Structure 1
Amino acid sequence: MTAKDTCAKNFNTALDLGRPPNIKQLFPNSKALIVSGKYIDRAMIKKGGAMTIAANARNTFVLRGALMAAQRADAAIIIEIARSEGGTNAYCAVNLWNMARQVDAICNELHITIPVAVHADHFGLKKPQDLDLAKTEIPSLFDAGITSIAIDASHMPDSLNLLANLELNPFIPPWAGLETEVGEIKGASGLSTPEEALFLIQGLNAHNIIPDWIALNNGTTHGIEASGTGIDVALTREIHEALAPYGTSGAQHGTSGNSSDRLRQIASLTRTTKANVATALQMISWGVEVNDFGNAILDDNGNFIKKKDQGASEAVWQQMLGTAERLGIRGGDFKKLNLPFENSLLAQPKKTRERMVKGVEEFVYTLLTTVFNAQGTASIAMDEILKTGSHNPDPKAKPIQDPKDWTRELIMEKGAMIESDKGPDGNFDD
């Protein structure tokens, strides 16, 4: 048997063993290796000092470009959309119920063979009353092909955040990638603390829930990063080290606008394996000029600069600007143009559509290979699937907390003793 034959055999075996039940049922004849987010996390850990992109697929062009870049880089990646972006009040055409179908179709069309997780990011709950709807909505996401989810009750007090995670866990398949969040993602106000993070992770551990990732407010913002302050690497490392006995990796939100050097530090000095990128990819797909950090460059009047012969056609761009002006949309709120203009963008000439995808591909490829150190992790993930022989890898840690110490009453008591500065309201977008 030739090396090529062996590679093909291994890939087919990984398809059979590694795809979770919902993916097999939805796409029985597919050649797309859609897997649990757990395998993506494990591949980064195995390589060491590596994190991969969780690309917010606000439009089809971002989705295609990110997958093509990952294939070139032999990098396992995550395709995601937040509940606020692609939920029932979506402002993106790619949503939580069609994202897996689009990933599957594009992978088959373009012969993408790298492992991909499909992640429901920031499944946000702002109050306990939101849990009843979530118990219906979360199963519907997995019915639609989601393979990983982030439960984000970080807007609530720490005790209610933990209790929400506990109450919703039975509705999440045990094989699915799981992210939890502490502290809202909103910049320098209300930074997360080791005490808050330990409270959440220890409480989950006591109930045999081992999250793959935790997201923090570690100093960055969502959307367009204007302050220049960015991610607090030292704080991130401190919290991750405190959580090490529980096997929790970091999920870095709001990477757009942070320097490559800072992101390299996050990859090499912390336990981060997942880095969300949204705004930068959207802007690049449209042809908006960005700096090396993926941050949009504004002219003297505070307007975006559209690069000639890149991204969307000039005609569609002018339509987008007109709509933004009419609706009073500026800055980061340009994201709200994704849904109304998806079809207009898809109706452009093939050459224009291809350059939109290519811009995203080049940016993501550079991130994966020169900043995130993710190259080669697709092969590692494939090996892990073959070694495990299952769609569900073993947990990264065991329960070490006593459940008797984490009853509802004790959770409320412990939570009340945490000194927490939630700061001003944040948001769920990247």
Structure 2
Amino acid sequence: MSVDAYFEKALEVGRPPNIVQLFPNSEALLVSGKVVDRALKAKGSAMTIAANGRNHIIIRGVLEAAQRADAAVIIEIARSECNYCPTNFYNIARQVDAVCNELGVTVPVAIHADHYVIKSEADLPYARMELPSMFEAGVTSVAIDASHMADDLNLLANIDLCQYIPTWAGLETEVGEIKGAQGLSTVDDATFLIRGLNAHGIFADWIALNNGSTHGIESSGQGIQVELTSQIHEALAPYGVSGAQHGTSGNNSEKLRAIAAGTHTTKANVATALQMVAWGVEVNDYGNAIIDDAGHFKKIEGAGLSEELWEEMVAYADADGVSADNYKWLNLHFEKKIMAQPKPIRERMIKLVADFSYDLLTNVFNAAGTGAIARKLLVEMDTYDLEAKAEQIEDPAEWTKEKIIARAKTLVVDKGPEGDFDD
């Protein structure tokens, strides 16, 4: 079967029902997160970009790169990002679908709601209402992040909310808040979460760990702990769960290649790096922004944003007391002015994102060619609804609410100080 034939058939059978209903005449291959995960697993020693589409420029650039690399990708937005970015749960699928159709993108793309944070049991009623609405708006994958709570409450929140998530959708869960080298995840708390879900017939596609990563700009120099990640992933192997790597922006290419090659990671979140690259900020080879002695970013003249708009953004940040680590808060306020720039400036911004993403996909993450793998998988399975990667092997009777609470008390873990659990 030719590439075109695989695409046409995959388009026919591979789009989940919410996408078909929203975009009945679309030729964008928007798929469940499960499809992307399976394609990367099939290639082996590979992970793909889960790009935080904080603005339209980033979405376009990543999709251009994915098409060039023939790499299945994920476009995502975190729950907290919906508060300070023009992209949110209710417009992200529409933007991705429109760009895919405009550019003729044929790679499978999942729409992921990242870090759907549950800070306490009081958040559950609203989540029960919002999750179905998000899928009605085109989300095809979600990360339930109750990692801020105690282990028993984390597991119980996941069990509660998974009944509001379609079984065909991609599912990510999280143990251990993202807080660098403190409060690292362990085999004990990771297996507790995944075993408890398995007992209730819930088969997560990904688990995110606190494995040494940080959100935003990495300054510690420690970064991801590959050996710890591999150890936890091996312990989880019977349950078929892949790894989701958060905080990639502060880790060099060698470290990221090691994560792809030496762990079961298939999803690598990239957020701050793409934002900084698009704006024309000087970054090192893995997207960590360069800050001068005065605490300001180094803007490359003639790259990214116009110099005039960049100066306005910096002045606004200084006046508002926005630190370098929180420039993400500028996205919503300046999106209109960013998109109002002349076309050559917008295009050079998109190209910066596309080139950076293409290098990650092909030279670091080993994701090239996974688009073809995913299209073929959809055709062979003849459905958008892929089977779980594992079977139920835990006894539900051993994972009642009472026994979950009791078992959690036996875990030997150090949660460390409060972490960055939003995005």
Q: CA deviation at 1:9?
A: 2.9
Deviations 1:235-265 (A, max 9, x none): 0000000000000000000000201000000
CA spacing shift, 1:194–1:399, aligned 2, 3 Å: same
- For residue 72 of structure 2, what is the aligned residue in structure 1? 76
Amino acid at match of 1:227: S
- For residue 344 of structure 2, what is the aligned residue in structure 1? 351
Does residue 1:106 correspond to 2:99, yes or no?
A: yes
Deviations 1:318-370 (A, max 9, x none): 11111101110011100000001001000000000000000000000000000
* C-alpha contact 2:48 2:365 (8 A) present in aligned 1: yes
Deviations 1:167-190 (A, max 9, x none): 001100000000000000110110
For the residues of structure 2 that align with 1:429 and 1:343, how far apart are their CA atoms?
25
- For residue 63 of structure 2, what is the aligned residue in structure 1? 67
Amino acid at match of 2:277: I
- For residue 191 of structure 1, what is the aligned residue in structure 2? 184
Does residue 1:52 correspond to 2:48, yes or no?
A: yes
For the residues of structure 1 that align with 2:123 and 2:292, how far apart are their CA atoms?
41
- Number of corresponding residues: 423
Look up the SS of the partner of 1:383 in the other structure.
Answer: helix
Look up the SS of the partner of 1:187 in the other structure.
Answer: coil
- For residue 403 of structure 1, what is the aligned residue in structure 2? 396
Q: Identity over the aligned pairs, expressed in percent?
A: 61
Give the structure-2-normalised TM-score.
0.99
* C-alpha contact 2:86 2:332 (8 A) present in aligned 1: yes
For the residues of structure 1 that align with 2:70 and 2:403, how far apart are their CA atoms?
47
- For residue 326 of structure 1, what is the aligned residue in structure 2? 319
- For residue 290 of structure 2, what is the aligned residue in structure 1? 297
* C-alpha contact 2:117 2:422 (8 A) present in aligned 1: no
Q: CA deviation at 1:155?
A: 0.2
Deviations 1:359-388 (A, max 9, x none): 000000000000000000000000100010
- For residue 426 of structure 1, what is the aligned residue in structure 2? 419
For the residues of structure 1 that align with 2:86 and 2:188, how far apart are their CA atoms?
39
Structure 1 gap ranges (5+): none
- For residue 27 of structure 1, what is the aligned residue in structure 2? 23
- For residue 237 of structure 1, what is the aligned residue in structure 2? 230
Look up the SS of the partner of 2:249 in the other structure.
Answer: coil
For the residues of structure 1 that align with 2:422 and 2:201, how far apart are their CA atoms?
29
Please identify, of 247-256 and 291-300, the stretch whose mean Cα deviation from structure 2 is larger. Answer: 291-300
For the residues of structure 2 that align with 1:177 and 1:202, how far apart are their CA atoms?
18
Q: CA deviation at 1:429?
A: 4.8
Amino acid at match of 1:160: L
- For residue 277 of structure 2, what is the aligned residue in structure 1? 284
Amino acid at match of 2:387: D
* C-alpha contact 2:188 2:413 (8 A) present in aligned 1: no
- Residue from 254, 260, 283 that aligns with 1:267: 260
* C-alpha contact 1:84 1:428 (8 A) present in aligned 2: no
Does residue 1:16 correspond to 2:45, yes or no?
A: no
For the residues of structure 2 that align with 1:352 and 1:307, how far apart are their CA atoms?
13
For the residues of structure 2 that align with 1:157 and 1:295, how far apart are their CA atoms?
32
* C-alpha contact 1:35 1:391 (8 A) present in aligned 2: yes
For the residues of structure 1 that align with 2:107 and 2:374, how far apart are their CA atoms?
9
Amino acid at match of 1:278: A
For the residues of structure 2 that align with 1:424 and 1:342, how far apart are their CA atoms?
34
For the residues of structure 2 that align with 1:33 and 1:295, how far apart are their CA atoms?
31
CA spacing shift, 1:304–1:429, aligned 2, 3 Å: farther
* C-alpha contact 2:216 2:247 (8 A) present in aligned 1: yes
Amino acid at match of 1:123: Y
